Amino acid sequence: MISYAIILVVACDPSTRAVPLLGGLPRQFARRSEESTSSKIILAALLFIPQLLTLSSRVPDRDISIRTRRRALECYIEPILMYGCEAWTISKQTQKKLEATEMWFLRRMLRISWTAKKTNDTVLEEAHTTRLLISKIRKRQATFFGHVMRREKLENLVTTGMLEGKRSRGKQREKLIEGLTDWLKAGKSLEAIEATKDRKKWRTMIANAVKQGT
């Protein structure tokens, strides 16, 4: 109960007192995608340590293999972290936060102190894995995006529609379709939207992008 109360206080938006849904602020309170992503990272980090301690209390730490620890991470923590990620716009800053969170999880599982000064490549080698979090998020986004485009309902219109008026000054915010197009190496956004109509082709593009990594 104490941990749950702490999570609500930390992840809650102090200006609106909005209680988050699995760490994500409701749409009327989340002004930018980074706010939702940051709150998910906080919640996942707060839940990760108790989960790791619970696992260690049941089985001696030396008897828990790296594979078992990774499976526990994928089963209990990653679903919370990636909840609602289909609607995220992943900027460079957000991607750095997610990659840092992924490495923090691995370092905690391997009991590597920050004073050990081990590089990320060394940590990944010891964990017998590679960076997978961004690819998993992008795969979810691409799968959901393809589903929305093929339905040709209101969601399709919202995603592909244009608004009347002038563009705002300064650099424009990155759109979801732009990030997916770059990840899929589909050329232009219109080409990616057209590719979603062929379910088999779209799945092949996603599989190839996952193999290539981020």
pLDDT in tens, 138-167: 999 999 999 988 887 887 777 776 667 777
> 146: which 2 tokens?
């393809």
Are 97 and 184 members of one domain? no
Other C-beta atoms lying within 10 Å of the C-beta of residue 12 = 15
The confidence score (pLDDT) of residue 144 equals 92
- What is the Cα–Cα distance from 82 to 86, expressed in whole angstroms? 8
Whether 166 is covered by a domain: the verdict is: no
Q: Mean pLDDT in the chain? A: 77
C-alpha 148/C-alpha 208 separation (Å) is 21
Q: Does residue 88 sit in the same domain as residue 153?
A: no
| Residue 174: half-sphere exposure toward Cβ, Cα within 13 Å | 17
Q: Is the pLDDT of residue 29 over 60?
A: no
Co-location of 109 and 144 in the same domain: no
3 compared with 68, residue with greater pLDDT: 68
CA–CA separation, 205 vs 214, rounded Å?
Answer: 14
Q: What is the pLDDT of residue 28?
A: 42
The pLDDT assigned to 102 comes to 92
Between CA 54 and CA 76 the distance in angstroms is 12
Find the mean pLDDT for residues 79-92: 88
Confidence of residue 61 (pLDDT cuts 50, 70, 90): low
The total of structural domains in the chain comes to: 2
What pLDDT, on a 0 to 100 scale, did the predictor assign at position 69? Answer: 82
Q: Is residue 34 part of a domain?
A: yes
User: Which range of residues forms the domain containing residue 19?
Assistant: 2-130
Tell me the average pLDDT across 113-127.
89
Pairwise pLDDT comparison (147 vs 27), residue with the higher score? 147
Residues 8 and 111 in one domain: yes
Residues of the chain with pLDDT > 70, as a percent, come to: 75
Task: Count other Cβ atoms within 10 Å, centred on residue 13.
Answer: 16
Does residue 211 surpass a pLDDT of 90?
Answer: no
| pLDDT tens for each residue of 176-188 | 888 898 999 888 8
Query: What is the per-residue pLDDT for 18?
Result: 44
**Interhelix angle 133-151/199-212, nearest 10 degrees:** 170
Q: Does the residue 168 lie in any domain?
A: no
